[in-house]
Amino acid sequence: MLPPFELPEYLKNVVHIAGVDEVGRGPLAGAVVAAAVILDPENRIAGLSDSKKLTEKKRDFLFNEIKEKALAWAVGRAEVEEIDQINILHASMLAMQRAVENLPTQPEHVLVDGNRCPELPCEATAVVKGDDRVEVIGAASIIAKVTRDREMVELDQKYPGYGLAKHKGYPTKVHIAALKELGVSEIHRRSFGPVKRCLEQELVGE
């Protein structure tokens, strides 16, 4: 387990520090969604943590609280076509870049979950497991996950049969079986192995 992240001394009096995280690298369908958040030090939010460790009910509660209490928040995304064109790593960086650009208040420094930073107009620090070690990154992970999960529930209505509302596009047995039965939809990532294999099988079957 990694120790709590300590802000460098020169950042301790900086107010506009944004946390950035993305959700959706692993799924076979849908966009990759990132969020950027600048918290208000005068209006603290209890219980911020890695969104994956929270219940859906807790995430939804914190999602509303972050939007209400944060100094600024924004979402950025990279669509399926972009993921297939530039690969998922570069698409994740692009989504995070867009989230920061979309902030109504531009940050003085950005803390990014992971081991690398996207190109940004200000200084940035990558924090491994940052969503669990830094409150402001945890806040970003909650905004990103709830936003993407809700999108997948909506897409389940438009593309029924794949089970998107349950597995959120991840490569579960149910999802892969549905892909084989129903074929590949326009929201599936064609560059991902299981989807690519289904497309190849469709071509063989023609």
pLDDT for the residue numbered 24: 97
User: pLDDT-derived band of residue 162, with 50, 70 and 90 as boundaries?
Assistant: very high
Q: Rounded CA gap, 94 and 116, in Å?
A: 12
Q: How confident is the model at residue 15 (pLDDT cuts 50, 70, 90)?
A: confident
pLDDT grade, residue 45 (50/70/90)?
very high
Strands of 109-113's sheet in order across: 72-78, 32-38, 17-23, 109-113, 123-127
Name the residue among 98, 134, 100, 99 with its Cα closest to residue 114.
Answer: 134
Kindly list the domain boundaries of the chain, sorted by start residue: 9-153, 158-205
Range with the lowest mean pLDDT among 14-18, 30-34, 154-158? 14-18
- Distances from the Cα of 203 to the Cα of 182, 188, 200, angstroms: 14, 17, 5
| Reported confidence tier of residue 11, pLDDT bands at 50, 70, 90 | confident
* Per-residue pLDDT, 204: 58
pLDDT tens digits for range 181-190: 999 999 999 9
On average, the pLDDT of the chain sits at 94
CATH class of 9-153: alpha beta
pLDDT tens figures, 53-103 = 899 999 999 999 999 999 999 999 999 999 999 999 999 999 999 999 999
Encode pLDDT of 101-146 as tens digits. Answer: 999 999 999 999 999 999 999 999 999 999 999 999 999 999 999 9
Predicted pLDDT of residue 205: 54
Answer whether 201's CB lies under 8 Å from 60's CB.
no
Place of tokens 């208000």: 40
Q: Calculate the alpha carbon distances from 97 to 51, 108, 167 in Å.
A: 20, 14, 27
Per-position DSSP letters for 87-145, written without gaps between them: -HHHHHHHHHHHHHHT-SS--SEEEEESS-----SSEEEEETTHHHH-HHHHHHHHHHH
- Class of residue 115 by CB neighbours under 10 A (exposed 0-12, middle 13-18, buried 19+): exposed
Listed residue (56, 32, 37, 31) closest to 134, CA to CA: 37
Q: What tokens were used for 63? A: 């999602």
pTM of the full structure: 0.95
125: β partners: 111
